[in-house]
Amino acid sequence: MNYLQKELYELIKTDNAIFEFIQNNSLDGLWYWDLEKPENEWMNERFWEVLGYNPKDMPHKASAWQDIINKDDLAVAANNVKKHLEDPNHPYDQTVRYTHKNGQTIWIRCKGLAIRNAEGVPTRMLGSHQDITKLKKSENVLKHCNEEANIGFWDMNVSTQTITWSDITKKIHGVSLDYQPNLETGINFFKKGYSQDKITDLVFRALNHGEGYNEELQIVTQQGENKWVKVLGIPERNHHGTINRIYGTIQDIDALKKYQLKLEESEQAFRGNFENAAIGMALLDKHGKWLKVNQTLCDIVGYTSKEFYQLTFQDITHPEDLDSDLSLLNEVIEGKRDHYRMDKRYFHKKGHLVYIHLAVSVVRDDKDDVLYFISQIIDITQQKEQEQKLKRIIELTQDQNERLKNFAHIVSHNLRSHSGGLSALLSILKEDEPDYFENEIVKLLESSSDNLNETIEHLSEVVKINLSSKENFSLLPIKPIVDKQITSILPLAEKNRVNIINNINQDTKVLAIQAYLESIALNFITNAIKYRSKDRDSYLEINSLKNGKYTIIEFIDNGVGINLDLHSKKLFGMYKTFHKNKDARGIGLFITKNQIETLGGKVEVSSEINKGTTFKVFLRNEKD
């Protein structure tokens, strides 16, 4: 024995002050129990002070602390006393809970040693208290934290290959609290493939090389659910230097990992969209400095990304467009709007102008300050050029239209004037010198003049239709208009034995000009008479039916019919005739179609040779 140790033992025996110092300063309580008179127990002052009581008020009786000890812990302690008294090798060592005078729980590690007489019978028992409340509280906090953070513990005994899992570890694996894992079953929880291969390798390295690990892997829970976990492994060597223990934690990071993966995915998507976008894209700081640009934008403006980062958007914006851009940008910075769009001009690196459509949106931080702007830029130079081209074409067309109008005027006025004069002169000549008209050439002159007049009459009619304005359209009842035309042509119809039946509804109205409606109706009626079949009783049936915003007027006859296979394309053309009828001039259908189209309608035809023809005239029945 060390001489100092020996000296201290002697001092304790002889000097009470030494024992007092030890019992007051190194322990949180000392007790000495008379096993022969078990009601007697001496407790030192510190014993009671730790529990909040005044030692002077407390008797040296075992009963003094019976009411403030936790009943369950007391039972465990009593059992341990019994075992220790029977077998000195059974340690008396446990943690028990007392209730402090202020109601708090005090955790005490309580150790004891039986003192036996010469016969080995225990007569006294000496015990010590150590206040571990702080430690216990920290432990509780840690446990709570682990629960909150979903961190479980595990511990593997290498020699027995047994593993202990904490409750949270079991919860993470989705197993019951009485589940007993081993190395193999533990590894099998990791997802087959990368995760299982990786953990096998990590455990091998820990066992054989003492390497620790910290890895994010996937497990498959007992319920078959894939779950991301973070596993931490710490190998521990014994005094021989061999690994005898690996312990660590397992943390459920599934939600976090999934969120992270999603974020990565969306960041990647954004990056991909940004880099590969067919339109120019850029990130700019709030001063207009380019932070990031994609290749498309570089192509649009001719700068490399490096050159861009030395510039602001103000540098390349046309001065006339800058103010409106800046004022919109300021509205965004001030929070009055979160995006804007505008057409503006950039200067290409080579100096020429580039027209672009710009859409700017803002990304703000948690204090609502501008982090950066996202700009989307579409090159509309070609479109602008097309617009200008189109504008020029429209101007040219308008100009040509004006010329056409002038031409129309020439046709309808000057030409008519001259041809009218010619035919009047001929009629005067005929009056004065009727004999001249026996001459074949003069006769032909007269007929040419008549034909010229007629042609000009038709042309000027067509011109008039094409120049008419939609503002003059009004809703007109059709039936009376058609009736009027039938009446006017009745003698001709009767003479040719064509029965005309007007089935149009009394209240059917269409959007039209009265003169056009009259002309359209008259044309179809006279056509039906002209092209009647001489082999049978002829009829013309006129019906009306509503078809959405159109009203259809049908003219159905049983005449000679038209060979549509041959003539459908030129049926409504000018000076096209399809019959050998001597009255056929080939202008009526052309004018009629023009009139119908001017009214915003259309005409359809169906026909069968020697059976008859149906014209369907679609006319609008309401204003747009």
Partner 1 sequence: MKKINLACIIDDDSTHVYITKRFLDLTGVVESVLICHNGKDAFDKLKAIIVNGESLPELILLDLNMPVWDGWQFLDAFKTIPTKQKITIYILTSSNSEEDIERAKKYNMDSNYIVKPISLKELKNIVLDLA
Report which of 491, 487, 498 is spatially closest to residue 527, judged by C-alpha positions: 498
**Cβ of residue 481: shortest distance to partner 1, in angstroms?**
20
Q: What's the rounded Cα separation, in Å, for the pair 381 and 64? A: 98
**Cβ of residue 401: shortest distance to partner 1, in angstroms?**
16
CA distances, 605 to each of 450, 501, 555 (Å): 32, 19, 10
Task: Provide the residue count of the chain.
Answer: 624
Report which of 424, 486, 419 is spatially closest to residue 458, judged by C-alpha positions: 419
Nearest residue (CB) to partner 1, 256 versus 404: 404
**Cβ of residue 408: shortest distance to partner 1, in angstroms?**
9
**Cβ of residue 600: shortest distance to partner 1, in angstroms?**
19
Nearest residue (CB) to partner 1, 140 versus 427: 427
Nearest residue (CB) to partner 1, 187 versus 411: 411
**Cβ of residue 394: shortest distance to partner 1, in angstroms?**
24
Nearest residue (CB) to partner 1, 442 versus 452: 452
Beta bridge partners of 227: 219
Nearest residue (CB) to partner 1, 364 versus 409: 409
Nearest residue (CB) to partner 1, 17 versus 428: 428
Match 């000027």 to its residue by tokens: 460
Helix axes of 381-409 and 440-466: crossing angle, nearest 10 degrees? 140
Is 359 strand, coil or helix?
strand
Q: What's the rounded Cα separation, in Å, for the pair 274 and 389? A: 33
Q: Which residues contact partner 1 (rule: CB under 8 A)?
A: 409, 412-414, 416-418, 420-421, 423-425, 427-428, 431, 460, 464, 467-468
DSSP E strands in 425-504: the ranges are 474-477, 498-502
**Cβ of residue 485: shortest distance to partner 1, in angstroms?**
22
Q: What's the rounded Cα separation, in Å, for the pair 30 and 384? A: 98
238, 158 in Cβ contact below 8 A?
Answer: no
**Cβ of residue 466: shortest distance to partner 1, in angstroms?**
12
Nearest residue (CB) to partner 1, 538 versus 594: 594
Nearest residue (CB) to partner 1, 228 versus 516: 516
HEC per residue, 362-424: EEECCCCCEEEEEEEEEECHHHHHHHHHHHHHHHHHHHHHHHHHHHHHHHHHHHHHHHHHHHH
**Cβ of residue 377: shortest distance to partner 1, in angstroms?**
51
Q: What's the rounded Cα separation, in Å, for the pair 395 and 503? A: 48
Q: What residue type is 483 in one-letter code?
A: D
Q: What residue type is 293 in one-letter code?
A: V
Nearest residue (CB) to partner 1, 137 versus 403: 403
**Cβ of residue 427: shortest distance to partner 1, in angstroms?**
7
Question: Phi and psi dihedrals of 373, rounded to 5?
Answer: -105, 140
CA distances, 268 to each of 263, 275, 365 (Å): 8, 10, 21
**Cβ of residue 403: shortest distance to partner 1, in angstroms?**
16
**Cβ of residue 495: shortest distance to partner 1, in angstroms?**
25
Nearest residue (CB) to partner 1, 294 versus 419: 419
In whole angstroms, how large is the CA radius of gyration of the chain? 56
Nearest residue (CB) to partner 1, 242 versus 406: 406
CA distances, 249 to each of 57, 234, 337, 451 (Å): 49, 9, 49, 110
Q: What's the rounded Cα separation, in Å, for the pair 596 and 609? A: 25
The two three-digit tokens of residue 564, written as one number:
């549509």
